[in-house]
Chains A and B, each alone.
Chain A
């Protein structure tokens, strides 16, 4: 058939291309892997430094400051429960994965979002790319990643990074574009430099949207990090994947509970932190 020739050729190109990239870009991917796993190992080391009750206490205190006493107690107890289930190590591994991937996604995504907020053409160009990233099934990102970076946390991190970045870009760009017209006019009429306009007018108005983007990135990361259990990410995702393969329902449910606990704590913490952020007035 004609059509099968076309698709076969296309598939051949893709395979050849990937092979070429992995052959010729080895040093690049090795160093990428080094950076990703280095950051991840550092964060993980930090999280495992203290016993579980100290971590639970610290996060509980943070929750107290941001949300109040009831939430604080609930947070501490919930984290301790993860340890009681015997999943403390996995929980911290997952947290380290999520933190690393989210921070990377924000470091890359927020500046791109700011640029897209100012440049309408960049925003228009990014729109379909972000749509594509967000509509493709997240498993897709694991395959090229595993081909280039191999089995392990680096692959999970890069796939999670890809999935977590779009909300940061979108909501940052939206925030920058959302500055009410009268304040832009005020800025011009007051003789602001472009930099002052950005820091004193646009950014303060953008902060709520940017914070929502950070929260969304975090949530996307959690979703992906579990899926990435398949490629040997370690942590709760891998526990669930292992439990699914051995039909160990009890373990899979325990791990799922731990994930829910971790996700909810981070979601509430970032949401409440977002409400307190005020930038621009000094």
Chain B
């Protein structure tokens, strides 16, 4: 399950970054780097607020990385550190092997125009421009000729299903359509990385779900990578290849949806994932028990006669299999070998999500 990451594949590498806000921020930063103060101490001693504390993450090529946190968790600050809309107080951000704190103004503009696109919750469509002119904005800024940029923008609008709306103004569009234009504007510039700052949070649930699916499909088909900020765990699970959970400026856990749901790092994450349906998240390999253990418990059952499945089958599939089976267990096969058995008990545990036992079972 663990992805092997080579250095070439890391598009955006952020290491131990801090962002401290306040009048005495420089002193607080010094104290943090020299004395290793905690956030609470920084607030008490320097009256400074820690927005992001010691955050590290790597965005790989082709990956959608979700950062999930409630309001005030520092997730919006974190994403702005990646294109230097906010300067980090400490730590480094490297984009395609280049540390961005070392870029001069022109290089930074170039990086923002070509490499890192951004989509905002507020959408920020310029009200005096048509949909087409808005979608072409990034290209216009780069000085691409009108005909060329309109052509590219139109293609981007087609991808989000708005090619009939090019001559309209943003105020004539619904919220969902406006955010589609926002997406088209970001994709039209053809950046490798797209930063998504809670882009769908203000939309109603049905439209949000549609846009989530479209965004994931578009990003994957175009081979883009994305850091996606959200306060909605369902959204993070739906969209993200990996998810980071943020709390009070700290990244508490990074992992796939399944890892986070089945092995929450602390009580905070556990509380969060408690309400999430595990049916499609928890896989056979997390709920199966070793063959020997199963044999010891049920000596009469012939393991080789059980219905078989793969370690990646989710609970939904396992339930289907069990229902079709004569016995109450399913064998999990990997590389032609039975590596474990999923019993009804294991399934129930997976659905209920009692982490300790699930971990033990895995």
| Beta-carbon contact of A186 and B112 below 8 Å | no
Contact of A191 among B109, B124, B128, B130 (CB under 8 A): B109
Whether, in the assembled complex, B110 has its beta carbon less than 8 Å from a beta carbon of chain A, the answer is yes
Whether, in the assembled complex, A196 has its beta carbon less than 8 Å from a beta carbon of chain B, the answer is yes
| Beta-carbon contact of A183 and B126 below 8 Å | yes
| Beta-carbon contact of A201 and B126 below 8 Å | yes
Task: For chain A, residues 183 to 238, give those with C-beta under 8 angstroms from any C-beta of chain B.
Answer: 183, 185-186, 188-193, 196, 200-201, 204
Task: For chain B, residues 116 to 139, give those with C-beta under 8 angstroms from any C-beta of chain A.
Answer: 116-118, 120, 122, 124, 126, 128-130, 133, 137-138
Name A204's closest neighbour in chain B (CB-CB).
Answer: B128
Task: For chain B, residues 237 to 282, give those with C-beta under 8 angstroms from any C-beta of chain A.
Answer: none
| Beta-carbon contact of B141 and A183 below 8 Å | no
Q: Which of A183, A186, A193, A204 has the most CB of B within 10 A?
A: A186
- B126: A residues at CB distance < 8 A: 183, 200-201, 204, 280-281
Task: For chain B, residues 84 to 135, give those with C-beta under 8 angstroms from any C-beta of chain A.
Answer: 85, 108-114, 116-118, 120, 122, 124, 126, 128-130, 133
| Beta-carbon contact of A182 and B122 below 8 Å | yes
| Chain B: minimal CB distance from A148 (Å) | 44
Contact of A189 among B85, B114, B130 (CB under 8 A): B85
A201 to B142, CA, bound (A): 15
- For the A-B complex, the count of residue pairs with Cβ-Cβ distances under 8 Å equals 61
Whether, in the assembled complex, B225 has its beta carbon less than 8 Å from a beta carbon of chain A, the answer is no
Whether, in the assembled complex, A278 has its beta carbon less than 8 Å from a beta carbon of chain B, the answer is yes
A197 to B114, CA, bound (A): 17
Whether, in the assembled complex, B230 has its beta carbon less than 8 Å from a beta carbon of chain A, the answer is no
| Beta-carbon contact of B141 and A200 below 8 Å | yes
A180 to B122, CA, bound (A): 11
- Given contacts A183-B126, A281-B129, whether A191 and B120 have CB atoms under 8 Å apart is no
| Beta-carbon contact of A185 and B113 below 8 Å | no
A193 to B128, CA, bound (A): 20
Whether, in the assembled complex, B286 has its beta carbon less than 8 Å from a beta carbon of chain A, the answer is no
Contact of A192 among B109, B118, B122, B146 (CB under 8 A): B109
A186 to B112, CA, bound (A): 10
- Given contacts A186-B120, A186-B124, whether A192 and B129 have CB atoms under 8 Å apart is no
Contact string, B201-242, partner A, CB cutoff 8 A, digits 1/0? Answer: 000000000000000000000000000000000000000000
Whether, in the assembled complex, B73 has its beta carbon less than 8 Å from a beta carbon of chain A, the answer is no
| Beta-carbon contact of B85 and A188 below 8 Å | yes
| Beta-carbon contact of A191 and B118 below 8 Å | no
| Beta-carbon contact of B110 and A281 below 8 Å | no
Q: Which of B109, B114, B189, B195 has the most CB of A within 10 A?
A: B109
| Chain B: minimal CB distance from A160 (Å) | 33
A259 to B41, CA, bound (A): 70
| Beta-carbon contact of B85 and A191 below 8 Å | no
Name B109's closest neighbour in chain A (CB-CB).
Answer: A191
A-B contact pairs, 12 of them (CB 8 A): A183-B126, A186-B118, A186-B120, A188-B112, A189-B85, A189-B112, A189-B118, A191-B113, A192-B109, A200-B126, A200-B137, A281-B126
Known: A185-B124, A191-B138. 19 other contacts (CB 8 A): A185-B85, A189-B83, A189-B112, A189-B195, A190-B118, A190-B141, A191-B109, A191-B110, A191-B113, A192-B109, A200-B126, A201-B126, A204-B126, A204-B128, A279-B128, A280-B126, A280-B128, A281-B129, A281-B130
Binding site for A on B (CB under 8 A): 83, 85, 108-114, 116-118, 120, 122, 124, 126, 128-130, 133, 137-138, 140-142, 146, 189, 195
Q: Which 10 A-B pairs have the closest CB atoms?
A: A191-B113, A191-B112, A191-B109, A189-B118, A186-B124, A182-B122, A281-B129, A182-B124, A204-B128, A278-B128
